[in-house]
Amino acid sequence: MNSVRIEAEDYNQGGQGVAYYDLDPGNNGGEYRFEDVDISYSGDVDGTPLVGWIESGEWLTYEVTIPSSGTYQLEARVASALNGNHSFQVSLDGEQASVNLGNTGGWRTWQTIESSEVLSLSAGTYQLRLDVLSGGFNINYIDLIPVSPSVTPTPEVGNGNNGGTDNNTSNQGNGDTITDVQANGSTVRIEAEDYNQGGQGVAYYDRDPGNNGGEYRFEDVDISDSGDVDGTPLVGWIESGEWLTYEVTIPSSGTYQLEARVASALN
């Protein structure tokens, strides 16, 4: 069974009152998406953004694919600089789980906290809803960690964490956003903007200094809003000779077809 990661910033499309409910107008963090959900740089080890400025009564929705039926433990990557109890509830496939946290030591001092309940889930695609019960915290992501299967699992959509891990180097073309590799019913997605940590000459090589797009990460790789249907950023301003590296987990052995989501205005 594979674990499932839900990035807080990758909530559904649809806007206020449909995909999310946010109590104040505008994105207070000014990053990643141009809606009312407040998104900022997390400073966490994975380099992905946080959702912050969270208030009681706000909510977010996500489309989530459960690869295999079974029991899952919910873990949340959260941070808070405020004393007191902060909490949220997740609803999925008729099941509910809640997470409670206190002061972690700072708005970017991250802790991974388990829910007080486990979730009994059937394989399939569902709408997950995150309801803020008591605000005053930041959230980076949620993981659904398999505890036990209820059916014999088959390889499915994968942030899979069983199988080999490889470091992949990619020479990118203009406007590269995502890459999928597919085999035997399994799909692994590599988001272009989620390249490895390590900096220039180690994790990537970029020919000009600074992030020309000014979004998502504060390094020399050029990242901007993609305008694509999934709402994730693009890597652009791409020049010959540049490169990026990624850590990729292959969930099962097999032959894979690589597909890339790309765009260019140049002949």
Q: What is the pLDDT of residue 165?
A: 43
Residues 206-214: contacts with CB under 8 Å, at least 24 apart = 206/242, 207/239, 207/241, 207/242, 208/237, 208/239, 212/236, 212/237, 213/237
**Which CATH number does 4-146 carry?**
2.60.120.260
pTM: 0.58
Q: What is the pLDDT of residue 158?
A: 40
**In the predicted structure, residue 156 carries a pLDDT above the cut 90:** no
Asked if domains 4-146 and 178-266 share a fold, the reply is yes
pLDDT in tens, 111-146: 999 998 999 999 999 999 999 999 999 999 999 999
**Which CATH number does 178-266 carry?**
2.60.120.260
**In the predicted structure, residue 69 carries a pLDDT above the cut 70:** yes
Residue with the larger pLDDT of the pair 241 and 226: 226
Q: Are 46 and 140 in contact (CB under 8 A)?
A: yes
Integer Cα distance of 232 and 228 in angstroms: 7
pLDDT in tens, 18-68: 999 999 999 999 999 999 999 999 999 999 999 999 999 999 999 999 999
Q: Are 255 and 183 in contact (CB under 8 A)?
A: yes
Q: What is the pLDDT of residue 161?
A: 38
Integer Cα distance of 235 and 223 in angstroms: 5
pLDDT in tens, 168-189: 444 444 565 566 665 555 688 9
Q: Are 155 and 65 in contact (CB under 8 A)?
A: no
Residue ranges of domains in the chain: 4-146, 178-266
